[in-house]
Amino acid sequence: MTSRLAATGRTQLAWYQQRIRYSPGTLGLNYPWMNVDGSETVNYLGASYSTASVQADFAWIAALGVTKIRCWTQLEAVMSWSGSAYSFESTYASNLDDLLTRAQDAGLQVIMVIGDGESSGGYSNLDGKFRWTFVTGGYTAYLTALAAFADRYSAHSNIVMWELQNEPYGNLTFSANAIASGATQAQTYTFLAAAYATVKPVAGSTYVGFSDYEEEQQSEYQLFSSPSFVADFIDGATDVYSMHIYRANSGQVADFRTLTGKPKWCTEIGCYNYYDPTASDHPIAAYDELGNDGPNGITGLCNPPSVRDIAAKLMKAGFSLIMPWSASDNAGLVQHDSTGGYLPGSLPGWMTSQFATRSIASGRSTA
């Protein structure tokens, strides 16, 4: 017997191609750092911190309907290292209090990225860089500081996750400082588990853990899609399977339906985030389509369809949060100008459209 689909010439969609509708709770946005006068400021909690910039950025993000953001709030940006111990630098520590308070006032929950080990050139005081020497040389002083950090900022009720490290395993392959330390995956896991055990008693029901890179085209980045890696190097150090995916389409992304037991988040998502037009260092040639459109350099055409396609597959696989990159440094998503204005691309408009609730009876929608 011929099916109705066959009879009408329509093709049955794959399981991950069915229509998805998002809510403010499932579609967030990365706001890793400030963008002042069109120039990103990564270590922004120090002398360059601008209350006016943060206030304006949060107002723009909240106007989209977004309720969750992910921010770089590095311990090393607000705590000074003496050579043997960390202590709060009062002004910079207060800047982070200010940021979290302004986010709360704007109705935004925050994933706090406390440690970022993607760096080079060694370390300097208050540079915002996680020191990989702790992983290989003993981390008692770091855990003491981490406990103080968590205790201070736990007063902010809008923290949705304490993200202990950004891409720790990925950094073992592409961070010069991580590579120089000689840290292994086993040492990194032992450190992550110890950091988790330090913060979790303070965090209570708030999520604690880390995020990492995921890519099916290179075996060293098949982290969450490898059951053995999940069991050996992830499960004991996080409450959430939080991954970063930068691919062109859903066909390049693993099927995560069998990954269960914890919430699944994609806390960074976008098209290719590297420039390698001859595929000399990557299995797939790319032109940094995250913010540019291939060799023509037309800003922002490739990324939105990639995000929509991959996000739909992930949601069908049980993910509960998708966070495009980024409101701070991706001109394909939003361009910042020297007057403090915002020129959004198509992706923010699509996000806002997802938050509309539609009435079938009236055919009208409301935000």
Q: Do the domain assignments include residue 143?
A: yes
pLDDT at 301 exceeding the cut of 50: yes
Q: Do the domain assignments include residue 88?
A: yes
Q: Residue 26: what residue type? A: T
Q: Do the domain assignments include residue 1?
A: no
pLDDT tens per residue across span 90-114: 999 999 999 999 999 999 999 999 9
Q: How open is the CA angle 68-79-84, to the nearest 5 degrees?
A: 140
Structural domain count of the chain = 1
Dihedral pair phi/psi, residue 5, rounded to 5°: -60, -45
Q: Do the domain assignments include residue 323?
A: yes
Residues 6+ positions from 247 with CB-CB distance below 8 Å: 215, 217, 253, 271, 272, 306, 310
pLDDT tens per residue across span 317-336: 999 999 999 999 888 899 88
Q: Do the domain assignments include residue 28?
A: yes
- 235: buried, middle or exposed (CB in 10 Å: 19+, 13-18, 0-12)? middle
- 111: buried, middle or exposed (CB in 10 Å: 19+, 13-18, 0-12)? buried
Strands 159-166 and 275-276 turn out to be unpaired
pLDDT tens per residue across span 214-248: 999 999 999 999 999 999 999 999 999 999 999 99
Q: Do the domain assignments include residue 246?
A: yes
Note the pLDDT of residue 12. 58
Q: Residue written as tokens 């986010």?
A: 103
pLDDT tens per residue across span 244-254: 999 999 999 99
Strands 86-88 and 79-81 turn out to be antiparallel
CATH number assigned to the domain comprising residue 79: 3.20.20.80
Q: Do the domain assignments include residue 221?
A: yes
* Domain extent for 116: 18-272+299-355
Tokens of 125: 């005081």
SS3 25: coil
Flag whether the pTM goes above 0.85: yes
